[in-house]
A and B are shown apart, each in its own frame.
Chain A
Amino acid sequence: MKGFTFHKPRSLKEALAMLKEADGKAKIMAGGTDLLGAMKDGIMQPERLINLQEIPDLANIRPDNDRLHLGALVSLHEITVHPSIQKRFGILAQAAQEVGSPQLRNMGTLGGNLCQRPRCWYYRGDFVCLKRGGDQCFAVTGQNKYHAVIEGGPCFIVHPSDTAPALLAMDASVRIAGPDGEKIAALEKFFMTPRDNVTRENILEPDQILTEIMVPLPREGSRGIYLKARERRCWDFALASVALLLNIDDGICQEIRLVLGGIAPIPFRASKAEEVLKGKPIEIELIDQACRMALSGARPLASNAYKLELTQALIKQALLTLSNK
């Protein structure tokens, strides 16, 4: 790791000023669980680290009438144990519980989990790949069992977050602070595909800070589930994951939001599958059809086609569970 200076702003304003002044040479730090690893591996070599942990309010959990406000520095552990999150925003609590290990959930933050860099072993290894300014994605012809099956190219990372699919399923939005003030963006518009920009995974500019995540209260009767398949039982990213929010009334699917993790460079909303079910009675045949549609257009690489069946299996399990089939 290269030497760096460590800064502890006391306010968001101060942090933003530091960030602007550093002119791209600084990184902000929340839990540090991803950043410090990336620095040790030489993937990032910031001259300055701006620690957000001492800024008041960034770690608050605040429910109001119609939504939940989560500071970007709320720890993943807190989300898993918070009673009203467990009760009203169950998918998020479930997804946070699936992140890493207890140690990582203690240190890791929600904002950090959304902004973490991909785990692609080429990106994390000794390769100058597209994402690191090179001219090729080594996964295309290399070892690609963990890579994207849909929305890939020119880079084939998968988005590693567990909480992102859950938050997207709940139609969350994010508050972003920058030198010119604040803005709110739908989470759906937050993530970027490699086609948009291969060097980053979201819309955050180097002088901006993600400060808050807002989650609308799901409508009465909605149920949610988060399922994750992996190679070992903890401290492992998803081979594929499914976040599903479903509202069934009178046996009819009133609302459905189905978001997939671990299979695309962004948390992938399976709109085609949603369309199959929305406004219709939930039947086994329709569920099967939705599973088939979920990844239509997928183009697997040499070693990752299994993700198609795997994802379909998870979607089916999620739909069957929530519809009590």
Chain B
Amino acid sequence: MLPNASGKVVVTVGRRVKTRVEEEGKIEEINVELPHEDLPPWEEKNLVWVGKGIPRVDGFEKCTGKAKYTYDIHLPGMLYGKILRCPHPHARLIRLDTSKAQRLSGVKAILSQENAPPIPWYNDSFLFDRTLRCVGEEVAAVAAVDEYIARDALDMIEAEYESLPFVVDPEEALRPGAPPVRPGGNLLDGKPIIYSRGEIEQGFDEADLIIEENFSTQVQAHACMETHGSVVNWEGDHLTIWESTQGVSDVREGMAKALGIPISKVRVIKDFMGGGFGSKTREGKYTVIAALLAKMTGRPVKLMLDRKEEFYATGHRPSSLQYVKAGVKKDGSLTAIYLRSIGACGAYETPLFPSKFSMIDALARPYRELYHCPNVKTEVYPVYNNIPVHTAQRAPGHVEGTFALEQVMDQAAHQLGMDPIALRMKNYALKDQVEDFPYTRKALDQCYQKGAEKIQWEKRNKKPGEKKALICEGIGMAGQIWGGGGGPPAYAIIKINQDGTANLLTGTQDIGTGSKTVFVQIASEELGISPKDITITLGDTETTPYAPRSSGSRTVPSVGPAVRSAAADAKRQLLDLAGSILDSKAEDLAIREGQIYLKNNPTRKIPLKEITQKMGNNMIMGVGSRGPNPPQAAINVFGAQFAHVAVNTATGEVRVLKVVSIHDAGRVINSMTLNNQIEGGIVQGMGYGLMEEVIWDKGTGIMLTPNLHAYKLPTMLDIPEVVPGVAEGSDPANNIGAKGIGEPPKIPTAPAIANAIYNAIGVRLKELPITPDKVLRALKI
């Protein structure tokens, strides 16, 4: 450890404890070292920077085009990589002739199954495999002096395939005799994933009303503005990778493993990036391919996917079919919830989550957790089909599951003649019923109440579809539960400079959410140094201490407490130094807005700068780590959203006029970035609800929507007025009181819209996306 200002060496005695950490529903027990100091919660009234909507610290760079994305990296002598992809949904590669391409001037290397190391990838397949299970799988790759030559070279590679039987439709894939996507059957691990508590049949017997419905949800693409890709450079045996990623540390670990080199030989850098939404959590095949091509040629290689590849080869939110049966008593209390669901994996199991925590099963979690219900059974069938593998997308599973569950609740309320909010309050869950732990905090009731006020809930149609008109308006709502508690390990370092400024270093990344700004604010708050005097370095595995990938809405609650802990450590050392210079006791001093002052006489103060100037080249370094989560407790983010829609009953067109979005994400660090996340989640959720859909031709396995025209993202004209808000207060789960907000606002958007449509026209839309054809069809029935 470092000497502190008084010259003493501070030694942290290792105290290791077990703690429970959740990421997108995957729960792990890990060992963690306790931080050097257990910081008490901030006092609300004293907060200076935390809670403020300060503009992004990197806003200028982004707005002026100075921000460098992976796409912008250009190294001397750099080659361009391109990937040849399989045109068949299921085939065996029987011949590959690269000789013509090899001879094309400007081609420097060709990589394929013939010369690439057998690097294991999905299931039991390899980086380049002779068996290809979906259109778009990697067959070969080229490095050339420019992109055009690389593309031309791909056209000159002769690949011969033996076509194999294939199946695209997930239901068909489950039928006996369906073409096998992989050896061992099309059902993942050969059995459904079952969760059960209580006695489901008894629960239905006790019910006064049974609701039974079928729902289906579509494949949604991430459609990142910046496509996936890497720039790689070898210097000797040291590999540097610029990667558009949500997890620099994960890419480092994955690349070291794939290439069989120590992680200390791999550096991963991500400065700015154009979107990930769950699809950029680890290295891609393209990253490994780029590194191998660079090794072969001794030159840096840039390999960025094009838009079509972005749709084909980077994962998607899986589709689902959900059969739901729920039992309620006359007073509204739930007696039983049953879910049977089929989810499409694509050709492989996503490597992100092993089958025990299958992302396909994630859709069952809201059924198990959102409401108090003694008898719950969920039965999920993850099925292989010949389309590309799915991956995490913003609140995986919860988005699909909540779409169905919240419509079932709305339907139950309607049939019981209850206010949908009253029905939800009747079934309010006071603890995590799966883990049997209390929540650290749950302010969902506040979200319901606040949201209802802001949307003017009383103005909804008392009887759904009661007004007959060309344009019918309606109001609907839905709630959500998500993880988002974060946890260790995560570290941060703060250096205090002679001029009174500070550098904050941490190994997380800002994936566009504003985490740079949020961490600067946290450090400012604790240190008493203005945000403008703090610079932050992240997204670089070589220069920063470890912090986790940005997924599961956990960046702020995981890394934020470590930043605060580092700042507190630095502050303690600063005050020691100030005490020795000012001849006061350190504990009598405090820092606020760059001034050191006496606690009992704040008028006696001295600028921090005058103290730090006296340090010379002695440095103050604060080191912080993320402490454990509270034992025997569940940390969750909750929320409720309300939609006001207008439905054209003649054309079936739906317009979302307004969405009110209130979440319990604990303490707000930056109100502006919080609102950004809410707005972004609603736009993506509305796209999911009304227009976005990846569509495959079932006869060929070819995607019909691999471009930004056929795949319909919402435009500015489609986006409703968004009224964001939070449940007041902080969560005792960690030392900054914050939980994650990245994913939650997406979850209840589509069901709130669907319930609003029901309120408007009295017809329930159970298939996503809710396009005019479906509305017209539903109105006709």
Q: Which residues of A contact B (CB under 8 A)?
A: 3, 37, 41, 101, 119, 121-122, 124-127, 138, 141-143, 145, 229-236, 239, 303-304, 306-307, 309-310, 313-314, 316-317
- Rounded to whole angstroms, the CA-CA distance of A310 and B699 in the bound complex is 28
Q: A122-B704, A239-B772, A310-B776 are in contact. Are A231 and B697 (CB under 8 A)?
A: no
One of B37-45, B345-353, B504-512, B711-719 contacting the partner: B711-719
Q: Which residues of chain A are within 8 angstroms of B773 by Cβ–Cβ distance? A: 145, 239, 303-304, 306-307, 310
Complex CA gap A132/B653 in Å reads 33
In the complex, A232→B713 CA distance in Å?
8
Contact of B772 with A231 in the complex, beta carbons under 8 Å:
yes
A187 → B minimal CB distance (Å): 26
**A229 and B772 contacting across the interface, CB-CB below 8 Å:** yes
A-B contact pairs, 6 of them (CB 8 A): A121-B704, A126-B702, A141-B699, A143-B704, A232-B717, A236-B712
Pairwise interchain contact B715-A101, C-beta atoms closer than 8 A:
yes
Contact with A along B641-678 (1 / 0, CB 8 A): 00000000011110100000000000000000000000
Q: How far is the CA of A230 from the CA of B773 in the complex (A)?
A: 10
Residues of chain A contacted by B697 (CB below 8 angstroms) = 122, 125, 127, 138, 142-143
Q: In the bound complex, how far is the Cα of B712 from the Cα of A232, in angstroms? A: 8
Are A126 and B715 interface neighbours, CB within 8 A?
no
Bound-complex Cα distance A127 to B701 (A): 11
Docked pose: A306 CA to B774 CA in angstroms = 8
Interface string of B432-446 (1 = CB under 8 A from A): 000000000000000
A127 to B698, CA, bound (A): 13
Closest to B708 in A: A235
* Residue ID in chain A nearest B470 by CB atoms: A317
Contact partners of A37 in chain B: CB under 8 A: 709
Residues of chain B lying within 8 A (CB to CB) of residue A310 = 650-652, 772-773, 776
Kindly list chain A residues whose C-beta atoms are within 8 Å of the C-beta of B772.
Answer: 229, 231, 239, 306, 310
Query: A-B pairs with the 4 shortest C-beta distances?
Result: A313-B650, A233-B717, A306-B773, A121-B704
Is A232 in contact with B702, judged by CB distance below 8 angstroms? Answer: no
Contacting residues, chain A, for B702 (C-beta < 8 A): 125-127
Q: Are B700 and A231 in contact (CB under 8 A)?
A: no
Q: How far is the CB of A9 from chain B (nearest CB, A)?
A: 26
- Judge whether A309 and B780 touch: CB under 8 Å: yes
A145-B773, A231-B772, A232-B691 as given contacts; A316 in contact with B712, CB under 8 Å: no
- For A316, give the chain B residue with the smallest CB separation: B650
Query: Of all chain B residues, which has the CB nearest A41?
Result: B707
Min Cβ gap A201→B in Å is: 19
A309 to B714, CA, bound (A): 25
> Does chain A have a CB within 8 A of B159?
no
Contact B771 A231 (CB under 8 A): yes
Given contacts A231-B771, A306-B773, A309-B780, contact A126 B651 (CB under 8 A): no
Q: Which residues of A contact B700 (CB under 8 A)?
A: 127, 138
Closest Cβ of chain B: how far from A39's Cβ, in Å? 13
Tell me what chain A mostly uses at the interface: helix, strand, loop, or mixed: loop
**Residue of B whose beta carbon sits closest to that of A121:** B704
- The answer on a CB contact under 8 Å between B776 and A309 is yes
Instruction: Name which residue of chain A comes closest to B699, CB basis.
Output: A142
Report how far A101 CA is from B713 CA in the complex, Å.
13
Residues from chain B with Cβ under 8 Å of A127 in the complex: 697, 700, 702
CA distance A239 to B773 in the complex (A): 9
Closest CB in chain A relative to B654 CB, distance in Å: 10
Q: Which of B148, B651, B715 contacts A235 (CB 8 A)?
A: B715
What residues of B have a CB within 8 angstroms of the CB of A314 in the complex? 650-651
Which residues in A have their C-beta under 8 angstroms from that of B706? 125
Q: CB-CB < 8 A to A316: which residues of B?
A: 650
Q: Are A234 and B695 in contact (CB under 8 A)?
A: no
Most buried by A among B651, B714, B715: B651
Contact B691 A231 (CB under 8 A): yes
Known A126-B702, A231-B772; further 15 A-B contacts with Cβ < 8 A: A37-B709, A119-B710, A122-B697, A125-B706, A126-B87, A127-B700, A229-B651, A229-B652, A229-B772, A234-B715, A234-B717, A239-B773, A306-B773, A313-B650, A313-B651
**Residues 596 to 644 of chain B near chain A (Cβ within 8 Å):** none
Q: Are A231 and B717 in contact (CB under 8 A)?
A: no
Which interface residue of A121, A234, A239, A307 has the most chain B CB atoms within 10 A?
A121
Binary CB contact string for chain B from 491 to 519 against chain A (1 if under 8 A, 0 otherwise): 00000000000000000000000000000
For residue B134, give the distance in angstroms from its CB to the closest CB of chain A: 13
B175, CB-defined interface residue at 8 Å = no
B705 CB within 8 Å of chain A: yes
Task: Check B718 against A306 for contact (C-beta < 8 Å).
Answer: no
Chain A, Cβ-Cβ closest to B712: A232
Q: Is B8 an interface residue (CB 8 A)?
A: no
| B779 closest partner in A (C-beta) | A309
Once bound together, how far apart are the Cα atoms of A101 and B717, in whole Å?
10
Q: Which B residues lie within 8 Å of A303 (CB)?
A: 773
Whole-angstrom distance between the alpha carbons of A229 and B776 in the complex?
12
Distance, CA A235 to CA B691, complexed state (A):
13
* Chain A residue with the shortest CB-CB distance to B151: A1
Query: How far apart sit A138 and B710, CA to CA, in the bound complex (Å)?
Result: 17
Which residues of B are found within 8 Å of A235, using beta-carbon distances?
709, 715
CB of A306 within 8 A of CB of B777, answer yes
Closest to A124 in B: B710
Contacts of B715 in A (CB 8 A): 101, 232-235
Contact of A143 among B653, B695, B717, B780 (CB under 8 A): B695
Given A234-B717, A306-B773, A310-B651; A121-B710 close (CB under 8 Å)? yes
How long is the Cα–Cα vector from A6 to B148 in the complex, in angstroms?
Answer: 17
Query: B669-692, CB under 8 A of A: which get 1 and which 0?
Result: 000000000000000000000110
Chain B residues within 8 Å of A313, by CB: 650-651
Give Cα A208 to B706, complex, Å: 33
Min CB–CB distance B172 → chain A (angstroms) = 15
B710 to chain A, nearest CB (A): 6
B709 touches A306 (CB 8 A): no
Neighbouring B residues of A143 by C-beta, 8 Å: 695, 697-698, 704
Give every chain B residue within 8 A of A232 (Cβ-Cβ): 690-691, 712, 714-715, 717-718
Interface residues of B in 181-218 (CB under 8 A from A): none
Least CB distance from A300 to B in Å reads: 11
**Residues on A with beta carbons closer than 8 Å to the beta carbon of B777:** 306
A233 touches B699 (CB 8 A): no
Residues of B within 8 A of A141 (CB): 699
Complex interface: chain A residues within 8 A of B470 (CB): 317
Q: Which residues of A contact B714 (CB under 8 A)?
A: 232
B717 contact set on A, CB distance < 8 A: 232-234
Contacts of B695 in A (CB 8 A): 121, 143
Which residues of B have CB within 8 Å of A317?
470, 650
The distance in angstroms between the C-alpha atoms of A306 and B699, with both chains bound, is 23
Task: Write the chain B residue with the least CB distance to A320.
Answer: B470
A229 to B706: give the CA distance in the assembly, Å. Answer: 23
Contacts of A3 in B (CB 8 A): 148
A289 to B721: give the CA distance in the assembly, Å. 40
Residues of B within 8 A of A125 (CB): 697, 702-704, 706
Report the Cα distance A296→B529, complex, angstroms: 75
Inter-chain CA distance A178–B697, complex, in Å, is 41
CA–CA, A229 and B651, complex, Å:
7
The answer to whether A229 touches B653, judged by C-beta atoms less than 8 angstroms apart, is yes
B650 touching A142, Cβ below 8 Å: no
Residue of B695, B704, B706, B718 most packed against chain A (CB within 10 A): B704
**Most chain B C-beta atoms within 10 Å of own C-beta, residue among A145, A231, A316, A317:** A231
Give the nearest-CB partner of B702 in chain A: A126
Complex CA gap A220/B651 in Å reads: 31
- Please report the C-alpha to C-alpha distance between residue A234 and residue B470 in the assembled complex, in whole angstroms: 21
Name the distance in Å between B163's Cβ and chain A's nearest Cβ.
15
Closest Cβ of chain B: how far from A110's Cβ, in Å? 21
Give complex CA distance A233, B710 in Å: 14
Docked complex Cα distance between A261 and B699 (Å): 28
A113 to chain B, nearest CB (A): 16
Please, how many angstroms separate the alpha-carbon atoms of A231 and B695 in the complex? Answer: 15
Q: Which residues does chain A contribute within 8 Å of B709, judged by CB atoms? A: 37, 119, 235
> Known contacts A121-B710, A231-B771; is A138 also within 8 Å of B651 by CB?
no
